């Protein structure tokens, strides 16, 4: 199994990686670049604040982000345009998804990446290159 050169992780994929999910680890190991949209970092921080191991989780995330093949994808004008198109298309189709997922999909499209996720909502996003994994 080979991952696309630019693999975008959503929150669910990162969480499964941390839990040792074999297929997630294999796809990450074969990717040239791992990208985390800034929206995903916001979801992590919110979870850290609500959890009991905030400092440990922040330390683990910082170590991951320090890897030379991992980068953070900021919101750009191109991301905003993709966001608007996705949001409007889903609204017109009557199939909205959570707003953070729209931002993550938009960031994935803006960087020409391939999203790795366990969240089936992304299947509703027209034109999104993604892989939906199944928890083991």
* DSSP string for 86-124: HHHHHHHHT----HHHHHHHHHHHHTT-EEEES-GGGGG
Six token digits for residue 80? 């905003």
Cα–Cα distance for residue pair 57/55, rounded to 1 Å: 5
Q: How does DSSP classify residue 3?
A: -
- Smallest CA-to-CA distance from 60 within 15, 115, 12, 3 is with 15
pLDDT at 43: 97
Query: Span 32-44, mean pLDDT?
Result: 97
Query: Span 94-114, mean pLDDT?
Result: 98
pLDDT confidence bin for 114, thresholds 50/70/90: very high
Decide: pTM greater than 0.85.
yes
pLDDT confidence bin for 19, thresholds 50/70/90: very high
pLDDT at 5: 85
Helix (H, G, I), strand (E, B) or coil at 63: helix
Which domains occur in the chain, in start order? 6-132 (3.40.50.1010)
Query: Span 92-105, mean pLDDT?
Result: 98
Torsion, Cα 99 104 107 113, to 10 degrees, reads: -150
């Amino acid at each position: 199994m080979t991952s696309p050169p630019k693999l975008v992780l959503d929150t669910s994929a990162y969480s499964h990686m941390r839990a040792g999910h074999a297929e997630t680890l294999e796809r990450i190991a074969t990717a040239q670049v791992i990208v985390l949209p800034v929206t995903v970092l916001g979801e992590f921080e919110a979870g850290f604040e609500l959890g009991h191991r905030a400092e440990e989780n922040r330390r683990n995330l910082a170590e991951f982000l320090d890897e030379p093949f991992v980068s953070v994808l900021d919101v750009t004008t191109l991301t905003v345009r993709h966001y608007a198109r996705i949001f409007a298309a889903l609204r017109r189709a009557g199939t909205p998804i959570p707003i953070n997922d729209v931002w993550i999909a938009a960031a994935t499209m803006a960087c020409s990446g391939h999203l790795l996720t366990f969240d089936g909502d992304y299947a509703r996003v027209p034109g999104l290159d993604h892989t939906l994994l199944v928890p083991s």
